[in-house]
Amino acid sequence: AAIRRKTVKDILKAKGHHKLVCLTAYTAPVAQILDEHCDLLLVGDSVGMVLHGLPDTTAVTLDMMIMHGKAVMRGSQNALVVVDMPFGSFEESPQAAYRNALRVMQETGCQAVKLEYNSAAPETIRFLVDRGIPVVAHIGLRPQYLHVEGGYKVAGKSEESRKEQLECAEQVVEAGAFCVVVEGTKDEVAREISDSIPIPTIGIGASVDCDGQILVTDDMLGMFDRTPKFVRIYAELKSQIETGVKQYADDVRREQFPAVDETY
C-alpha cells in the first residue's frame, strides 16, 4: 500500500517526541533506498560538489535543482522532500524568491524549499509562506557565504556570534519557517537554539541535542576520501566501487568477461 507522504505538520509535531532522520538525495534510485528510513529528504545544493564536480555551491543553478528535485520526487513516496534554493535565486527580492520557489514547487512537486539565512530572510520567508510555500531556514555555517567569510567557519564561537545565531533562529521562526537547519555551529549554541525555539532544528556539524540530524548521503556512505570531522562513515562505497571496477577491467582484459552464459 502507498504510504502517505510526510507533511510539514508531521515534521513540526516531531519536536520533543522523536528525532528527525534526514539525508540529502539527488537521484531517483538513491532516493528510493533512503525514502523508507527518512522523515525528510533534502535535495541540497551540495549536489554541485557531490555529483557535478564543482568546487563549492555558488555555481549551482535553479535548473540543476529542479532537475534533481524531479528525480528525488519520482524516487520517493514517504519522506517530505525539501529542495534548496541555490545561490542567487532568492536574495534579490521576496518577489524574485517567490517566482523561483514557485518554479521549484510546481516543476518538482516538492513540499518545501530551503534557503540560507540573510538579512532579507525574515521578509522573504514571510512572503513565501504567505503564498503557500513552506520554508526551511538554514543558519549557522552557510556554504553560500564561502567567499564573504573567506572559508567555511564554525558559527557560535564568540558571544557575539552566539547572540547572532539565536537572533537568526528567532527571526526565521517569527517569519514562519517550519524547520531550521543548523550547520557548523558550536554544540552548546545549537543546543540553546533547539531549546529556545518551537520548531525543529536539524543539525549538521551541530549538536546531538538538535531535534534531528542530516548528513550529505555521499559523505556518510564513504564516497569521498576526505570528510569533515562531523561526518560518521556508515559504508565504504568508494572502495567497493573501486574493487568492483578493477575486477571488471581485469576480467575484460583477460577475456574472462563475458562468459558463454552471459551472451546470446
Residues within the interface to ligand KIV (CB under 6 A): 24, 42, 44-46, 84, 138, 181, 183, 204, 214, 216
**Would the annotation count 116 as a binding residue?**
yes
The least distance separating ligand KIV from the CB of residue 143, rounded to whole angstroms, comes to: 7
The least distance separating Na ion from the CB of residue 89, rounded to whole angstroms, comes to: 12
Q: Is 84 in the site for Na ion (CB under 5 A)?
A: yes
Distance of alpha carbon 225 from alpha carbon 227, whole angstroms: 7
**Would the annotation count 153 as a binding residue?**
no
Nearer to Na ion, 111 or 242 (CB): 111
C-alpha cell at 22: 534526514
List binders of Na ion among 35-74 (CB under 5 A): 44-45
188 is catalytic: no
Q: Is 218 in the site for Na ion (CB under 5 A)?
A: no
Burial 13-51 (b: 16+ CB within 10 A, else e): ebbeeebbbbbbbbbeebbeebbeebbbbbbbbbbbbbe
**Is there a contact between 101 and 47 (Cβ–Cβ < 8 Å)?**
no
Distance of alpha carbon 90 from alpha carbon 114, whole angstroms: 10
Identify the active-site residue in 36, 107, 123, 183.
183
Distance of alpha carbon 205 from alpha carbon 119, whole angstroms: 23
The least distance separating ligand KIV from the CB of residue 36, rounded to whole angstroms, comes to: 20
DSSP state of 179: E
Residue numbers annotated as active site:
183
Binding residues for 3-methyl-2-oxobutanoate: 45-46, 84, 114
